[in-house]
Amino acid sequence: MNISDKVYKKIADSILEKIQEGNLPWNKPWNGGEGAAINIATNHSFRGFNAFYLSFMGEKYSTCRFMTYNQAKTLGGQVRKGEHGYIGFKPMTLKSKTRKDENGNPAMFVTYSAVTYFNVDQIDGLPEKYYKLEETEAREFNKIEECEKIVSSMPSKPEVKHEEQRAYYNPRLDCVNMPKPETFNSDEEYYSTLFHELGHSTGHETRINRSLKEGFFGNHAYSEEELVAEFTASFLCGTAGIEKGIIDNSAAYIQGWHKRISDDLTILIKAANKAQKAADFILNRKEKQEVQEPEKQAA
């Protein structure tokens, strides 16, 4: 096992261990105004899967501020015709009709009901304070030499742009868009996000040719690709020596997508194996081929 393989194994084991420890909160690592998704009607941050999912979907909008249809109506707003909301989950404590607790009373249990949330950009007529963002100071961005080496080592890498405050890979144009470096919480988070998008780009037909199926957010193919990309980012961060700054958030991100598919940990192992190939490609590691001696012809 070479040095890079040892790094990959160490990172993968650490992520799996953190996931098995319990529910991890995910935080968007750059400012698009606000990092974490909030229910602006109650001014409470979302938790669990809602936090992960709505923060991700909030990248489409100017803020990560959401509320329900009824909350918007109560505040004098109206969801625009044709807008589609995002399904979240609300915990509910109910009494069991069949089970009793140790005192003979109806046992209590927690279940979840689906709730539809809308971003404030989808709602007209709300008081101005629900749209207004507080200005944040841009911090100074400092390039990390080892990370820059990894980016430059990638063969036939896609163009990297900083045109929108969103992170994504466009397979049709074969380009990566990144939020501005100075808007990230740390330099390490910038490179982790860049490595994630470069991880996606390795699936392009001109590179590893991993199937980049476009589909509904959260379906199996989409979720599996997100797992591969984030494992790739984690492996590259480990190679660059910056994993301590990002490992918890990476584990939370992987946990969120894993829950969309299954509780089967073998899915994570398969994604990590694909990510190893992606990381090797970005690092321009070429496997040594066995060269066979030509057979001597009989005299």
Q: Tell me the mean pLDDT in the region 97-115.
A: 77
Last residue of a domain, one of 79, 108, 130: 130
pLDDT at residue 186 tops 80: yes
Q: Tell me the mean pLDDT in the region 35-46.
A: 82
Question: What's the token pair of residue 246?
Answer: 């990002």
274 and 216 both lie in a single domain: yes
150 and 20 both lie in a single domain: yes
Higher pLDDT, 262 or 42: 42
Residue range 171-183, pLDDT digits in tens: 889 999 998 899 8
Q: Which domain covers residue 125, as residue numbers?
A: 38-130
120 and 149 both lie in a single domain: no
pTM comes to 0.67
Q: Tell me the mean pLDDT in the region 82-111.
A: 79
Residue range 249-283, pLDDT digits in tens: 999 888 888 877 776 778 899 999 999 999 999 99
157 and 274 both lie in a single domain: yes
46 and 151 both lie in a single domain: no
Which among 74, 80, 164, 90 has a CA at the least distance from the CA of 120?
Answer: 80
Q: Would you state the pLDDT for residue 135?
A: 60
| CA torsion angle 207 213 218 223 (round to 10) | -30
Question: What's the token pair of residue 82?
Answer: 């044709």
Spacing of C-alpha 129 from chain mean position: 29
pLDDT at residue 117 tops 90: yes
228 with 236: CB under 8 angstroms? Answer: no
Phi, psi of 271 (to 5 degrees): -65, -40
Residue range 190-245, pLDDT digits in tens: 999 999 999 999 999 999 988 765 544 555 777 888 899 999 999 999 999 999 88
270 and 151 both lie in a single domain: yes
Strand partners, 106: 100
Q: Would you state the pLDDT for residue 291?
A: 33
Q: Would you state the pLDDT for residue 287?
A: 55
DSSP, collapsed to helix, strand or coil, labels residue 61 as: coil
pLDDT at residue 27 tops 70: yes
Number of domains in the chain: 2
20 and 42 both lie in a single domain: no
